[in-house]
Amino acid sequence: MDATRSLPGRRFGRPGLGWLGGAGLLLAAWPAIGQAGADHHAIDWLELAMGMVGGLALFLYGVDLLATALKQAQGGRFQKLLAHSSANRIAALGSGTVATILLDSSSVVIILLITVVDAGLVPFAKALPVILGANIGTTFSSQLFAWNVDTFAPVAIAGGLLWKALARSDRARRWATILLGLGLVLFGLNIIGTAAEPLQQQPAVIDWLKQLESPLLGVAAGALATIAIQSSSAMMGIVITLAGGGLITLPAGIAIMLGAEIGTCADTLVATAGRSRAAVKAGIFHLLFNIASVAIGILLIGWLAAFGAATAGDVGQRIANAHVLFNVAGALALLPFTGAVVGLLDRLVPEREDAQSPVAATT
C-alpha cells in the first residue's frame, strides 16, 4: 500500500474512556520518538500527539455511537435469530457469523448469546458453534479496513447528519446515527494515519515498533490494548492503519492481532457475572478457545505471514487476510468437536447441587 494513504478501521464494543489505552499503544514509543527528533527530520511533536489522540478519541466515539445504534436497531432481532438458528452446528455457526457482521461486534453478539443461554432459550451445547461463528464474523471488518473506504468518511458524516435532521421516526434516526457513527470511525482512523505519517522518517520509532515482531511481546501488547479500548476490531483498525503507513511490519501486525483475540474476551467474561452456570460456561469457552487458538497461532505465525504475503501486496491487506485464515481455520477445526468440549466444561464448571439451570437440563 502507498505509504501516503491511510486506511479505515472499526469494531464495536463499549469504549468509554478506553481510548486512553489505545493512545498508550500509539504513544508508548515516546522515549524513542524524543530520541529520534534529535537526529532526523524536524517534527512538531505536540501536533503529532494531538493528531493521534484526537483521531483516536473521534474514532472510539464513533465506535461507541455505532455500536449503541446497531444494538438498538437490531439487538432484539438478532437475539431471536440466535435463539432460533441453533438447530444444528452449521446453522449456528452461520448465524453467529452473520449476526457479527451485521451488528459489527463479536462482543455484542456473544453477550446477547449469553443472555439467551442464561434465559434457557438456547442450550449451552448449541451456543458453542454460534461463538465460533462470531469469531469468523470479526474478520469482515478487518477486510473493510483494508479496502481504503475512509475516502468516503466525510460523505457518511454529512449524510448521517442530514438524514438525522430530516428523520421523522425513531427508526430512521437510529439508522442515521449508524451512518454517522460509521463516518466518524473512518474519519478518526484517517486522522490517525495522517498524524502518524511523519514517524515513517524516524528510525528509532520504527525500530521500537519492530520489537513487537517478537510473538509474545506483540500478543501481550495486542491483548492489553484491546482490553483498554474494549474492542478487538478497533484494535485491528489501528493496526491496519499503522501497517498501511509503514509503521508496523507484517509479523508484528499478526502478533498484535493474536493478542486482540485474547483481549476481546474481557467483555464477555464480565457479562457472565451473576448468571447461570450455563452462561458462565459459554464465557469460559470463548476465553479458553481463543487462548488455545492463539497459542497455536504463535507456533504457526510464520505460516500466517506467508499466507498474507502470498495473497496481497500491501501490509495492511496481508494482516487482514491472515486474520481471516486464523479465525476461519480455528472455528472450522473445532466445530466437529464441540460435543466433547461440552463434556469437558461440564466437569470444569459443574451445576450447583441446590439448583440445576434449565439450560443444563436440556444439554
Span 288-330, pLDDT tens digits: 999 999 999 999 999 999 999 999 989 999 999 999 999 999 9
Report how far residue 254's alpha carbon sits from residue 219's, in angstroms, rounded to the nearest whole number: 9
Question: Any idea which residue has 490494548 for its cell?
Answer: 225
pLDDT over 50 at 234, yes or no: yes
Domain ranges of the chain: 19-362
What is this structure's pTM? 0.75
Residue by residue, DSSP assigns 159-177 as HHHHHHHH--SHHHHHHHH
pLDDT over 90 at 272, yes or no: no
C-alpha cell at position 253:
501486525
Residues in the chain: 363
Share of the chain above pLDDT 90, in %: 29
For 325, which DSSP code? H
pLDDT over 70 at 335, yes or no: yes
Question: Between residues 230 and 266, which one has the greater pLDDT?
Answer: 266
Using pLDDT thresholds of 50, 70 and 90, give the confidence band for residue 200. Answer: low
- Reference 27, options 44, 9, 50, 5; nearest CA is 50
Angle at 59 between CA 183 and CA 154, to 5 degrees: 25
Report how far residue 74's alpha carbon sits from residue 79's, in angstroms, rounded to the nearest whole number: 9
Report how far residue 345's alpha carbon sits from residue 282's, in angstroms, rounded to the nearest whole number: 9
Report how far residue 339's alpha carbon sits from residue 317's, in angstroms, rounded to the nearest whole number: 35
C-alpha cell at position 105:
461486534
Residue 355 in contact with residue 120, Cβ under 8 Å? Answer: no
pLDDT over 50 at 161, yes or no: yes
Angle at 337 between CA 332 and CA 342, to 5 degrees: 125
Report how far residue 170's alpha carbon sits from residue 69's, in angstroms, rounded to the nearest whole number: 11
